[in-house]
A and B are shown apart, each in its own frame.
Chain A
Amino acid sequence: MVEVAPWWWAMLLPVALGALVLGMVSGEAAVDARTAGRRVTTGELTRPVRGAARLLMRQRRLPLRADAVLWRIGSAAGVVAAVLAAAVVPFGGYVVWDSAVGIVWFNAMGALMWALAWLAGWGANSAHALVGGYRFLAQALAYELPLMFALTAPALGAASLRMGDVVAAQQDVWFVVWMPLAFAVYLLGVLGISFWGPLAPPAGSDIASGIAAEQSGMDRLALLAGRGMLLVTGAAFAVPLFLGGGGGPVLPGWLWSLLKTVAVLAVLVWLSVGLPRVAVPRLLRVGWVMVLPAVLAQLLVVGVVVAW
């Protein structure tokens, strides 16, 4: 059902992710403008693009006594993690890397942010950045375990970790229909991986952008692009995981995949704009006392249905 794509798809992957990120931040800029009561003009829509171009031309700087190697790796490698994660995401009927354990691979690439976010915070030798890095780890303790169980649900439903099998198992009924809780928890986890919206405190304004406090120029662009690409990859991965992949009437598979990805992204942006940022201790309580038991109950339901 899902075949290995021609080799040049791998070259196209970063470009496609970048384009989706630009589209998403433009949409977010439009929502921002509308919320602030301004008219949505071309200038508002292109504001993120112009910001990115400005960063490209700005000089890089290195804070005093920073650990430059660790800091630059932490700032820039999020892009690599996002592209590697996107390699196992089926798009239409094709996938760049048909890994036998695609779901675990996606999870592992997301977990790389544990290291990268902390390194970006640590390496800068700056108090605000350091607080941001530690905040990310504390927050990760709240979302990572529920995210893992949420990823387990479709794998259990399809009896396979291979993305092609997961898509094939949803020919009749999408997994989101009987795993709605796992889907919601997965979306929360994606926001956590990219510390976006309600889960943005690691880069919060109360600590002067935290992890992103010291970067400028290329470094800052790479960090922000990595964050955005992780969010986009998470949205694209939700499609084969819960929304039947490229399946749908009339239109070709790749277009369905794109439409569904954009729809999930729109939901994520809507959540980010609408929900307040959650303090990390509160998130920990919600994550362990409410979300974790809920997603375990969801797994139990899936297990019972599968065993039936």
Chain B
Amino acid sequence: MLAELIAFLVLGVLAVVTGALVFRVDSMARATYLLFASFACVAGVMLLLDLAYLGTLTILMMVMEMAIMGVFMVMFMMNPGGLEPMSMLHNRTGALVISGGVFAGLVAAVLLVPWPRRPEPTTSPGGDATRQLGTALMGESMLAMMVVGVALFATIIAATVLATTRGRYGRASHHPARRQGTVDASHHEPSTATHTHGEHS
């Protein structure tokens, strides 16, 4: 019990410290993975609270999200590698107001919400919480979850279709150079080429 309490405190402090460090470092790679470290500490806290599924899922989702986000941060931010001085802090007053408001709201919620008391220690530790979560998400909210799932999936496919230009391993279509006639048209299907011209002219 004491060990769990110590682990809880250490993980909590580490989560806050790594979260704050995100805004102190000047390298996008370090900022990204410090944020992941913060989330991983939160996941550790969840595991301590017997939320096995949520804790594990937090690690699983966050590491993939951060990996993708790191690519975009490096692509778009002015100082990817930490070679130039830059600040992660922008719009300080606005940010301070928003973050202070969110923090106050969350603290108020923690103190004011009438939390349900767990009546008995669950007979089968861990597995029970996963089942409850599944029932809550896929039972009553099944319709909403299905709609959200289909909408997200459609968005992913649409974004991929919009972003795709076939590279060197497939047909090149909708390529800007082709419209100017600089690419040899004999490599491509004539029907596609006509279609491209019609669409863009």
Contact = CB atoms under 8 A, between A and B. Distances in A.
Decide whether A and B are members of one complex: yes
Given A100-B53, A100-B125, A67 B27 contact: yes
B131 to A, nearest CB: 10
A160 interface: yes
B127 interface: yes
A61 to B, nearest CB: 20
A88 B54 CA distance: 17
Contacts of B29: 67, 70, 119, 122-123
B126 A100 contact: yes
B167 interface: yes
A303 interface: no
A108 interface: yes
Say whether chain A's binding surface is mostly helix, strand, loop, or mixed. Answer: helix
Contacts of B127: 100, 160, 162
B170 A285 contact: yes
Interface in B35-55: 36, 52-53
B170 A118 contact: no
Interface stretch (B59-67, B110-118, B138-146): B59-67
B67 A101 contact: no
Interface stretch (A109-117, A214-222, A241-249, A250-258): A109-117
A28 interface: no
A93 to B, nearest CB: 20
A70 B68 CA distance: 17
Most chain A CB atoms below 10 A, which of B56, B64, B68, B168: B56
A160 B29 CA distance: 37
A122 B75 CA distance: 13
Interface string A52-87: 000000000000010101100000000000000000
29 contacts: A65-B83, A67-B29, A70-B29, A101-B52, A101-B56, A101-B126, A101-B130, A104-B60, A105-B56, A108-B56, A108-B59, A108-B60, A111-B64, A112-B63, A115-B67, A118-B70, A118-B71, A122-B29, A125-B81, A137-B67, A144-B64, A161-B53, A161-B130, A162-B127, A279-B169, A281-B167, A281-B168, A281-B170, A282-B169
